[in-house]
């Protein structure tokens, strides 16, 4: 039960902080000799973080749902979210095997953490000059490509997408909002994919899965406003430093 709780807490925290949840899970498994969690356990953790997104952004989602029925800013915003979702769907389907193999390579995780560190450092430097509020179609595609790159363990989804948005000129707060709303279809799709064929397995420990989802929900719900406050200040360098130190250590250790 403790393992399930720790998995949920780790997933919720690192899913939304720009330090790569997948990279941390791979490193923890390799360093501690712990077997990778089953697909249904991963799905439970993702469902917990998905619920935290729905709860935190419930007002934004409500406005977008109402705006979908009208012609206006909300419908355009939804269209940009759809465009930004396409790259991760295409890459996830076409490169599924290569991505799964990448989860067994600690050296790759270390290298990708350095890439995350570089992206965050660039975002930190450009934050003060990013003054645009409105998301454009080019921004959506660029952020979507950054999200697709984050399928590799070690590249933070939130870090890559926020840094890309800032790099494109979006104010940090607007880049973060777009990134978190974009996470909803991405995490939802990952959950459904992991659940496929897993729910029918015999001997499923539903109580432990509920603990995983609950811990992921709580830690994720706490991590979202924390990262949003940090992003609004335009200060990303502490995360860049952390990823650089961790990535360098992994490469030397590996």
Confidence of residue 109 (pLDDT cuts 50, 70, 90): confident
For residue 154, CA distances in Å to 55, 123, 253 come to 27, 17, 16
Residue 161 gets which letter from DSSP? H
Question: Can you give the pLDDT at residue 188?
Answer: 87
Return d(Cα 155, Cα 66) in angstroms, integer: 34
CA dihedral 162→166→169→170, nearest 10 degrees, is: 50
Return d(Cα 94, Cα 230) in angstroms, integer: 35
Domain count of the fold of the chain: 1
Q: Which domain holds residue 202?
A: 2-253
Lowest mean pLDDT of 99-108, 161-170, 210-219, 229-238, name the range: 99-108
The mean pLDDT of the chain is 86
Cut 0.95: pTM above it: no
Residue 170 gets which letter from DSSP? B
Confidence of residue 149 (pLDDT cuts 50, 70, 90): very high
Query: Contact at 8 Å (CB) between 172 and 133?
Result: no
pLDDT in tens, 190-205: 777 766 655 555 555 6
Average pLDDT over every residue of 171-191: 91
């Amino acid at each position: 039960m403790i393992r399930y709780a720790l998995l949920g807490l780790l997933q919720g925290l690192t899913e939304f902080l720009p330090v790569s949840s997948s990279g941390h899970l791979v490193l923890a498994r390799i360093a501690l000799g712990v077997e990778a969690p089953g697909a249904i356990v991963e799905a439970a953790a993702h469902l917990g973080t998905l619920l935290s997104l729905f709860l935190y952004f419930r007002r934004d989602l409500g406005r977008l749902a109402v705006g979908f029925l009208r012609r206006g800013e909300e419908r355009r915003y939804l269209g940009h979210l759809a465009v930004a979702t396409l790259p991760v769907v295409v890459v996830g389907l076409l490169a599924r095997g290569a991505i799964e193999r990448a989860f067994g390579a600690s050296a790759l995780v270390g290298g990708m953490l350095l890439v995350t560190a570089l992206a965050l450092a660039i975002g930190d430097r450009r934050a003060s000059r990013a003054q645009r509020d409105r998301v454009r179609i080019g921004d959506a595609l660029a952020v979507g490509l950054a999200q697709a790159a984050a399928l590799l363990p070690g590249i933070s989804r939130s870090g890559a997408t926020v840094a890309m948005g800032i790099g494109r000129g979006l104010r940090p707060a607007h880049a973060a909002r777009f990134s978190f709303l974009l996470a909803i279809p991405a995490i939802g799709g990952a959950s459904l994919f992991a659940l496929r064929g897993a729910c029918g397995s015999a001997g499923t420990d539903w109580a432990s899965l509920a603990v995983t989802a609950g811990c992921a929900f709580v830690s994720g719900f706490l991590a979202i406003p924390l990262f949003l406050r940090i992003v609004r200040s335009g200060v990303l360098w502490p995360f860049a430093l952390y990823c650089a130190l961790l990535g360098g250590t992994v490469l030397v250790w590996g």
